[in-house]
Structure 1
Amino acid sequence: MKNHLSIEVDLDSLTYETHIIGNLAFVIDFHDYFSGQNWSDFVAVVLNWWIDNCRALLFAPLQETYSFQFMDGPIQIAAKKVTATDVELTFVEDGHPKTSMGTVSLEALKHALIQASHQLINAVDRNGWQNEEIEQLRHAVKTLQTY
């Protein structure tokens, strides 16, 4: 059975000086937050990295693993392609697997990234913030949507 996946950006937590910082998490089955419900990070930078890795996973051979890293701290989500359409997610800390997060479809991962990115971009636009990271994210989302 596949797990439900969302990627949540807490829009109320966003701050902007040079970079956009806010709470960001992988959420499995609506209640398990990885890295944690209040994990703060460089949201646009991290989403760009994750979109790049999602695109790579779409074309990767079976058993290939890509890391969905966070900028702050030695943590990441390892995504191993187990079928043509599914990945197994594992929460990794200090290079060691900590928690199996379950199996999700690549389509669900792609959709979660697109949705989280659009939410962030819309919030940034409402606030009138501009930087290179957001422009890169705009382009990355458009590219991911074509696959």
Structure 2
Amino acid sequence: MTPRPIHAVDVPALAGLHTAAFPPEESWGIGAIGTMLAMPGAFGLVLPEQGFILARVAAGEAEVLTLAVAPPARRQGIGAGLVVAAMAGALARGASVLFLEVSEDNLAARALYAALGFEQVGRRRRYYADGSDALVLSRPLSATEAG
């Protein structure tokens, strides 16, 4: 299944998905998701009821703002498919590199990103609400991501 662009009408369902995918102190509501989508250069992709990704592009660089996969849809390639689609979307919008942050404690996400070629380029100490560090990862983008 191919992710489709997010539309404003999707935001309430995305907030529900984000709540299911993250601990309460880290989940985003309708307002937060709407604000992120309204930022210059922002875009989002969704597989309804399974997962979504929000990203933005500025000055030739892209960043993943959030990636949420519904717990029943995990370990089925949904997250990888969304990241790959976001890489293509970022490249099409002029980005040459994609950055993201992941909790040092989130071993499943770290394995996903490593499999997709992301490498650690930094660390943000005690970044998350639980006190864990965020690892800053990046990956160069190339025409092979254009899909």
TM over 0.5: no
- Pick 1 or 2: higher relative contact order, CA cutoff 8 A, min separation 6: 1
TM-score, length-normalised on structure 1? 0.29
TM-score, length-normalised on structure 2? 0.29
